């Protein structure tokens, strides 16, 4: 029994080392590092505004760091493409959600397990139009619903190779308009409250 526990512990440490190396590979650029830090911080702010416990807020903050870990295997040419993706390129890009989940689910760490749900579900949408599984409404894990808003928010306000940053008013209008369509209304209410719009 003790021997099995020791082996299990060693395997967990080994797999967590693999996950850490994959995250390091994703974090090679300053832009990506800054995006991940902003998404993590914004996710925690939203979770706090929703009244989640301090423990859950900290868990989401730490786990949100892994939301794009699956991009480790997406070619740089797609990640940095200045124009719109072709349908085939989009299919490749969308594989990062399930890949991230598979990387993180090998761990027994609560942070990695929460990160796995976030990685897989942060591109799901309230109306079922997201990926990879087309989940709807409360079928999407709460953490995934929170990080979805934080991730899109950061993407919209940031300067990217394929787009200019949106003005804040336009970003907030987008979220208000898409509440209950693309995004969880409760998450949006908390997000807009943070920006003094509720």
Structure tokens at 76: 């740089």
Structural contact between residues 101 and 111, judged by C-beta atoms closer than 8 angstroms: no
Distance, CA of 198 to CA of 186 (rounded, Å): 12
pLDDT of residue 20: 65
pLDDT of amino acid 11: 59
| pLDDT per residue rounded down to tens, the chain (198 residues) | 434 444 455 555 666 666 666 666 655 566 678 999 999 999 999 999 999 999 999 999 999 999 999 988 888 888 888 888 999 999 999 999 999 999 898 888 899 999 999 999 999 999 999 999 999 999 999 999 999 999 999 999 998 877 899 999 999 999 999 999 999 999 999 999 999 875
pLDDT of residue 43: 99
Task: Report domain 2-194's class.
Answer: mainly alpha
Closest of 130, 68, 127, 75 to residue 100, by C-alpha? 68
- Classified as helix, coil or strand, 179 is strand
Q: Give me the pLDDT at residue 122, please.
A: 98
pTM across the whole model: 0.86
Task: Note the pLDDT of residue 73.
Answer: 83
Nearest by Cα to 101 from 110, 90, 91, 114: 114
- The Cα–Cα gap between 188 and 191 comes to 5
């Amino acid at each position: 029994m003790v021997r099995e526990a020791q082996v299990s512990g060693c395997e967990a440490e080994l797999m967590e080392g693999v996950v850490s190396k994959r995250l390091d590979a994703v974090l090679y650029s300053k832009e990506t590092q800054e995006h991940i830090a902003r998404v993590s911080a914004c996710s925690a702010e939203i979770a706090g505004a929703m009244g989640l416990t301090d423990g859950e807020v900290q868990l989401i903050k730490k786990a949100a760091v892994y939301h794009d870990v699956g991009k480790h295997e997406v070619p740089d040419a797609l990640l940095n493409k200045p124009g719109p993706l072709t349908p085939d390129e989009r299919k490749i890009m969308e594989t990062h959600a399930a890949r991230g989940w598979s990387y993180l689910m090998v761990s027994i760490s609560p942070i990695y397990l929460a990160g796995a749900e976030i990685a897989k579900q942060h591109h799901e949408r309230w109306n079922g139009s997201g990926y990879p599984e087309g989940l709807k409404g409360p079928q999407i894990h709460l953490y995934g619903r929170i990080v979805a808003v934080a991730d899109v928010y950061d993407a919209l306000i940031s300067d990217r190779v394929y787009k200019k940053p949106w003005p804040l008013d336009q970003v907030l209008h987008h979220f208000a308009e898409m509440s209950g369509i693309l995004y969880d209304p409760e998450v949006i209410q908390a997000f807009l409250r943070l920006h003094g719009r509720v």
